[in-house]
Structures are given as structure tokens and as C-alpha cells.
Structure 1
Amino acid sequence: MKAEEISLLDISISVPTVPYDLGLKELKGVFDELGIYKYLTVLKGNVPVGLVYRDKVERYSSEKLIAGDIATTCCKLRNTSMKKEGLSGIFDLLPIDREPVIITDRKGTYLGVLTYDTLLHYVTHHREHMLPMMQRVHSSIGKKEYLCIFGLKNLDNFKKVFGTEKVESVQKIFIEDVKDFFEGEIMGVPEKGELWIMSSQLPAKESIKELFKEFHREYTLLFGEFQQVHIYGFCLDMSILDSEEKLYRLKDELRSRTAKIDGSVFIVHGLQPTLILHDPTKQKLITNIKKHILSDFKDIVEHVRSAPKDTWEYVLYDLFERYPYFELFYIMSEKGLQITNNIVNPKVDYFVAQGKKGSDRSEKPYFKQAFREGSFISDVYLSKATDDFCITVSERFTYEGKTYILAGDINFRQIHKLVKSFKETTV
């Protein structure tokens, strides 16, 4: 191999393997034992057939399933050597930004896995103009600093309609707007079309919203008939990260989450991740839907208040028939202690953690504000019960002279259904 070339195997990671016919129970045991891995490579003999993901395995319960049944097929690439500057071509040729690539030898035998982040990490470390910023990012792990990443959604569809030159125009508007609203050390990441910003300050929510508004105002003036390009972004609190691996894994997760949400979106990650949204065509509708939710919730509270206390959980369970968009309810005492278990909608088809009686919610905004002002509806945030975005509604009520707070969670996917099903004239 020539000195200026590198083997793909050298920049791949060694992901543990499991046999194709390994049962579901044993597969879960392997994930538990290995701990940090979010996916494993499935082999049939020595040949890789795909990757099996931890979150997907946890959703299944049938003991008849085997690893091969759950495996996700992904691209394979035979190990080869290439010049360092030629590695960037992999970004264009393979969907490595969406899924890892399996590396094999000439006979198809498994060697390792190449991921977007490991490839990006290597490429950027051999570009002199990007190296200082990457070092800055890595040196900030564990410190009270923030990494903000911004990009554009749906540029591929835009390019099909308007061509490369117009794409460059949109990107120029995007870059200038980001620089206008945010201070810090800024670096472009060409392979992803992203801007990375390192700052000692958490970005202000209003600045994010103003960026969204300004970009879409300029964009609409130029391409008003094509409303599919939106900004996505997320902010990482570097102080809660302890390794580069966790940084890369979290970036992948947040980038994936933003792709699933319509309109412009920004996730502020931290101990309580929150969501900032902007979709000009739906702002009024969303405001009206929130009013509708609060009205429904007052009716739910009245049903609880008028029922004997020992039947409250049963009453709330029955109310899912009338208000199916709620995923769970629970009640707190005037001290913020949960006095019921989480009452979960029986039609929910995803995992919901079982909150228990006695859990202390006294510092949560949905308790404090409802106790102080009577009612509360949150912004979108990441629920610990479902590991998905949701909003929480809560309201204070009295029963036999004592004060209680009823809270209900609505999964973000249900908000989307409400947006689609409600018209402004009927909300």
C-alpha cells in the first residue's frame, strides 16, 4: 500500500457480532451484557447479513424471532486502500449518513463497520482548515460549552426542481443568516452541508425563532412556490458528555429526530431536552389546537373531581375513549408527590415507562406553574417515559378541601395528527 493511502479497515470500528439464528431472549441478553453498543452485526457463517439495533430488539417480545428476522440490511463495501482526499467520495456514493456501511474482505467475510462519524472524523483531521475546529470540539467534552449544528432539510428535492446554482443561493442565505444571529467559532462541514458553532453561551430561544423567521422570509421571496426547504438544528451541552463516541452517537440521534419532524426544528439537548419549532403555515392552527386541548383537559378534570377518590385511576382510564390523543395521565398531591401510577392509554403501541406513586414532581414546571397559576401547557420536550417528544398539560383542582394537580402527556406524533385533522374554522 502506498504511504499516502489508507485502508478502510483502519478507520472502521469493530462492532461485536451475533449469529443469524440467535433467539430474541439471548439477543437481548447480549445487548445487556455489552451495554454501550446500539447495534450489532448479524453473521450467517462468516458473512454479514445486516445490523440489528438495540431499540428495535426492545420493541419485540415473540420468542420465535431470531436475530436474522430483525436485522436491517445495509450497504457492504469491500476493503480497499485509497488516498486520504478520496475518502470524501464515500459520502456521495453511499448513504453512510443514514446507516453504517459494513466492510468485508474479498471473500465477503466480515471485517468491521464504517460509520458516518468515524469517516467524517478522519476526513476532517486531514483537512488543515477544519482541524483546529474539530480539536476545539473534542477538547470541549466535559466542559460547560455548547456545540450548535445547523443544516437544511430537503435540498435534494429542491435541487431536482431548481438545479445546483439555486441550491448554492439557498445555502448562502442560510449561512449568512446563521452568522447574523449567532456568535462563536463557526465551521462549515461540506459533506453534510452543515454549520457547526462552538460557544460558551446557550443559544437563546428567541434567536432560534428569529433565525427561522428570517430565513423563511428571504426564502419565500425567492422560491415561494416551493415550500419544502427548512432549517434543522440542535445544541449539545458538552458538559454532560464524557467521550467522543457519546458525542457522535448523540449527534446521529438528534439529526435523525429532526428529520422526522415537519418544518424548521431545533432541539436543545440537556438534562431536559426541548424542541423549538417554526412552520408559518401552521402557527395559528397550533395555537388554536392548544386552546382546544386545554378545553378538553378542563372537562377531564371535572370528571375526576366529581368521582370518588378511590376511582380516579379507573375514571381516567375510561376517558381515553373520549380523548384518545392523550398517552397517559397521573395525579400529584399539593406537595408534588405522584399519588397515582401512570395511567397509560391502552391503544399506545410504543414503550411507556411506568411512573409510580410517590415519585417527586415538585420541581417540575408542570407542577409548579399549575399549582401557582391554575393550569399549564408546556412547550415540546423529550419525555423520559417514552424517549419521544411530547407536551404536558396540567391543572389544579380541589377535592374535599385538598389541592391536587392532574397532568396529561400528549405524544408529538398525536399533535401532528391533530394538526392534520383540525381546520382553523372548526377548532
Structure 2
Amino acid sequence: MKEIELSSLATGVPIIELSLGVKEALRTFEEYGIYDFLVVVKDNKPVGIVYKFDLINAQQRPNLIVGDLVHPVMKLKNVVIKSDELVYLLDFFNFSKSPILLIDKKGFYIGVLFYHVVLHHISLFKETAIPLFQKIRSLFGQDYYFYCFYIKSLKGFVEAYGTSAGESVQKILYEDIKNSIPGDISLSLEEKEVYVLSKHRVKEEDIRSLYEEFHKEFTLLYAEANPLYIRG
């Protein structure tokens, strides 16, 4: 199984000092030209991102600095993972798919992880085994949403109840998702994941209803079992 260092997926978005004033910051954006946001650093360590749009709107407030306009985002340490574990990176992106700052062991900035870049690399490694990922590659840049669901603690459940029971609860999850989210849906028993490619942007209440339905069905079948939790 191929191994991947997260830094190989990162984009080198330039940095900007937290203490810069608005006008100086806008000049920095003009120097780089193509970026909508820059990574804000303090003592060479990232604290968030600042958008050019926010700086433009703040031009009439000369006392502001970049630090007043910074957007905190998730930071993730650079590690080496197996290619089949790439899909778990998607769990770190929030609902709006904000970028993630990649840092080294000492907390210094390496680069930015973008959702669409991670998804692209997932498709490269999964498309040979899972047909849905072949379709994903043909739809980059179009208005589609990708969802991935899996059952936490499934391994312990399989050890207690057997492989057939494990596959059964995965199929329950698959059917619940199929009834909840319109689009192309694929169950991979090997990866123990359910994938959805949809034009429908799922709301938090839809996900909550899906989880509740799964737990209701699971409890009816395996009342004595420890609860299983859906992640997605």
C-alpha cells in the first residue's frame, strides 16, 4: 500500500504578518496577485487566514491590523499515512470546507490543505476499486457534493457478533443513506465505508435524522450490543 506524506498534498499559500496594517497587507496581496487569502503568522507560526475581501472592506478603518481580521481555521500536523486512509482526512474539514493549515512538529507553517485537492487524490487511489470514484474524476469543478460515512467501533462489533453481522449493519447504513440523500451511492465492504456523490447539499438536521434512523434499526436488531456510532 502506497504511503503519502500530507505535505505532498499541501499548497504553498504565502504568509503575511499578523501585525501588518490594512494598507500594507493589501500591498502584499497585490504582490502575490492570485490569492483570495493569505496565511497569517506570528513568530513564524500560523494563527489563521485573512481574506483580501475583508481587507478591502476595512480600508476606511486605519487602526486595524491583519490580526483583527484573521479567521481561525483548523491546524493539522504533517504525518505519513497510507493511501487508503486518505478518505479520513475529509473528516477534518468543516461543513463549509474551510482550508486546513498544515504544520510541522514544532508548529511551523508548511502549507494549506484544500478539500478539493484531497478529494482529487482520494479519487486517484480509489477509482480502480470503486466505480463511483471514476465518476468523481469526471465531475471536478461541477456543483456536486461528496459524502463519506463509516461506522466507528465496527471492528469490536465484528469480533463479538461475526463478519456477517458486521456486513449487515453496514448494509443498514447504506439503505438509510440511500433513503436520505439523493445521488450516486456506493458501499465498499472492503473499505467499510459508504460514499455518496450528490447535487444535494445535506443539512445538519438531515444528518441527525439519518443517524437517529440507523441507531433505531440497530437497537432493534442488536439490543444487547454496545452502541455503534456513525461518522461522516
CA distance in 1, matches of 2:145, 2:83: 26
Show the counterpart of 1:137. Answer: 139
Show the counterpart of 1:68. Answer: 67
CA distance in 1, matches of 2:114, 2:105: 20
The amino acid that maps onto 2:144 is I
Residue 131 of structure 2 corresponds to residue 107 of structure 1:
no
Task: Give me the identity figure in percent.
Answer: 28
SS of the equivalent of 2:48 reads strand
Show the counterpart of 2:23. Answer: 25
CA distance in 2, matches of 1:21, 1:192: 45
Which structure's CA Rg is the greater one? 1
Match of 1:12 among 7, 10, 13: 10
CA distance in 1, matches of 2:62, 2:110: 30
Instruction: Tell me if structure 2 keeps the 8 A contact 1:189–1:196.
Output: no
Instruction: Tell me if structure 2 keeps the 8 A contact 1:149–1:194.
Output: no
Give ranges in structure 2 of 5+ residues lacking alignment. 148-169, 208-232
Alpha carbons of 1:189 and 1:137: their partners in 2 closer, same or farther (altered >3 Å)?
Answer: farther
Alpha carbons of 1:168 and 1:15: their partners in 2 closer, same or farther (altered >3 Å)?
Answer: same
Residue 147 of structure 2 corresponds to residue 149 of structure 1:
no
Shift of 1:151: 7.6
Q: How does 1:211-250 map to 2 (within 5 A)?
A: 228-229=205-206
Show the counterpart of 1:171. Answer: 177
SS of the equivalent of 2:121 reads helix
Q: 1:253-276: per-residue Cα shift (whole Å, max 9, x none)?
A: xxxxxxxxxxxxxxxxxxxxxxxx
Instruction: Tell me if structure 2 keeps the 8 A contact 1:125–1:134.
Output: no
The amino acid that maps onto 1:82 is I
Show the counterpart of 1:48. Answer: 46
CA distance in 2, matches of 1:125, 1:172: 25
- Report how many residues are paired: 174
Choose between structure 1 and 2 for higher RCO, CA contacts under 8 A separated by at least 6 residues: 2
Q: 1:186-232: per-residue Cα shift (whole Å, max 9, x none)?
A: 576999964247xxxxxxxxxx9xxxxxxxxxxxxxxxxxx9439xx
Shift of 1:76: 1.3
CA distance in 1, matches of 2:205, 2:72: 29
CA distance in 2, matches of 1:149, 1:76: 26
Instruction: Tell me if structure 2 keeps the 8 A contact 1:188–1:196.
Output: no
Show the counterpart of 2:214. Answer: none
Show the counterpart of 1:119. Answer: 118
Shift of 1:72: 1.2
SS of the equivalent of 2:34 reads coil
Show the counterpart of 2:229. Answer: none
Q: TM-score, normalised by structure 2?
A: 0.61
Instruction: Tell me if structure 1 keeps the 8 A contact 2:40–2:49.
Output: yes
Which 4+ runs in 1 deviate beyond 4 A? 164-170, 186-194
Q: 1:138-193: per-residue Cα shift (whole Å, max 9, x none)?
A: 5xx7xxxxx452689xxxxxxxxxxx998755521245xx46xxxxxx57699996
CA distance in 2, matches of 1:187, 1:33: 45
SS of the equivalent of 2:144 reads strand
Give ranges in structure 1 of 5+ residues lacking alignment. 142-146, 153-163, 180-185, 198-207, 209-226, 231-427
The amino acid that maps onto 1:23 is G
Instruction: Tell me if structure 1 keeps the 8 A contact 2:145–2:198.
Output: yes
Instruction: Tell me if structure 1 keeps the 8 A contact 2:37–2:50.
Output: yes
The amino acid that maps onto 1:172 is K
SS of the equivalent of 1:65 reads coil
Instruction: Tell me if structure 1 keeps the 8 A contact 2:185–2:195.
Output: no
The amino acid that maps onto 1:229 is D
The amino acid that maps onto 1:133 is K
CA distance in 1, matches of 2:10, 2:187: 21
CA distance in 2, matches of 1:32, 1:189: 47
Q: 1:20-66: per-residue Cα shift (whole Å, max 9, x none)?
A: 11110121222234333121101112111111122222322311111
Shift of 1:71: 0.9
Q: 1:373-424: per-residue Cα shift (whole Å, max 9, x none)?
A: xxxxxxxxxxxxxxxxxxxxxxxxxxxxxxxxxxxxxxxxxxxxxxxxxxxx
RMSD over aligned CA atoms reads 3.6
SS of the equivalent of 2:139 reads helix
CA distance in 2, matches of 1:50, 1:32: 20
The amino acid that maps onto 1:16 is P
Instruction: Tell me if structure 1 keeps the 8 A contact 2:9–2:117.
Output: yes
Q: TM-score, normalised by structure 1?
A: 0.35
Instruction: Tell me if structure 1 keeps the 8 A contact 2:103–2:110.
Output: yes
Q: How does 1:7-406 map to 2 (within 5 A)?
A: 7-60=5-58, 61-93=60-92, 95=94, 98-127=97-126, 128=128, 129=130, 130-138=132-140, 147-149=142-144, 169-174=175-180, 178=182, 194-196=196-198, 228-229=205-206
